[in-house]
Amino acid sequence: MRILATIVGVIFIIGILQDSFETVILPRRVSQRFRLSRMFYTSTWMMWSSLARKMRPGNRREYYLSYFGPLSLIFLLVIWAVILVFAFALIQWGTGATLSAPEKDVTFGTYLYLSGTTFITLGIGDVTPLTGMARFLVTGEAALGFGFLALVIGYVPVIYQSFSRRETEISLLDARAGSPSSATELLRRHYRDQHIEELIQYLQNWERWSAELLESHLSYPVLTYYRSQ
């Protein structure tokens, strides 16, 4: 049983590290079918959008849908962290790590507590490892916790910078193509004012913007759930 727990813990850690690497760091589209982040977004969006369909079209529904992108990003990061904490607790318990704890009977909850305080680098010190393997695992988890924090700090600003660049061009479009924007209005205004050359330059800029949009949304698919104003 303990050997199985250790194996499961190792599989969880490898799976989360691979999923987070492909989601956050790898700058390309991943075609792998089974991915935790893909399953998470598919299932949560299905539930979230099903509730939205029951609402009347309008500002209320748009306001509700706009919450999904930011909240889903937070929930995904939390799920990654929880699984990593649970996985390290499984490995500690599976390897039979000896702990110094206030309670006499060390249970799986004690290992889970040690894993949680280590991952978030809380460092209370009431539960400490006594064996070499346990200390190695605690050190590795603490390092991974620091890395996870750095990942979050670096990932979230990149997402919002990409979102901001996307929204800037969309906002500028209102002045040229009306609100809501339409291709007919864009052509009509430029033809009326005889600004054909300016229109050509504008469309060339939008061609570049479209390429940047495609690249950013393929690299960070969560941006597709961030709704425009």
pTM of the model: 0.82
State which H helix or E strand residue 99 sits in.
strand 99-100
DSSP state letter for 225:
G
Q: Of the candidates 87, 14, 80, 75, which has an alpha carbon nearest to the alpha carbon of residue 41?
A: 75
Taking only the tens place, the pLDDT of each residue in 57-93 is 888 888 898 899 889 989 999 999 999 999 999 999 9
Asked if 85 contacts 116 with a C-beta cutoff of 8 angstroms, the reply is yes
Confidence of residue 31 (pLDDT cuts 50, 70, 90): low
Q: Is the pLDDT of residue 28 over 70?
A: no
Taking only the tens place, the pLDDT of each residue in 173-227 is 777 777 777 788 878 877 776 777 877 888 888 888 888 888 888 888 888 888 8
Q: Is the pLDDT of residue 158 over 90?
A: no
Asked if 224 contacts 217 with a C-beta cutoff of 8 angstroms, the reply is yes
Helices (H), the chain: 2-20, 36-53, 59-66, 68-94, 108-119, 132-177, 183-192, 196-219
- Among the four given CATH numbers 3.40.50.11240, 1.25.40.10, 3.40.47.10, 1.10.287.70, the one describing domain 2-225: 1.10.287.70
State which H helix or E strand residue 129 sits in.
strand 128-129
Q: Is the pLDDT of residue 26 over 90?
A: no
Taking the C-alpha atoms of residue 221 and residue 73, their distance in angstroms, rounded to an integer, is 11
139: number of Cβ within 10 Å: 12
Taking the C-alpha atoms of residue 98 and residue 213, their distance in angstroms, rounded to an integer, is 52
The domain limits of the chain are: 2-225
Q: Of the candidates 133, 138, 141, which has an alpha carbon nearest to the alpha carbon of residue 2?
A: 133
Residue 58 dihedral angles phi and psi, to the nearest 5°: 155, -170
Tokens of 27: 């700058």
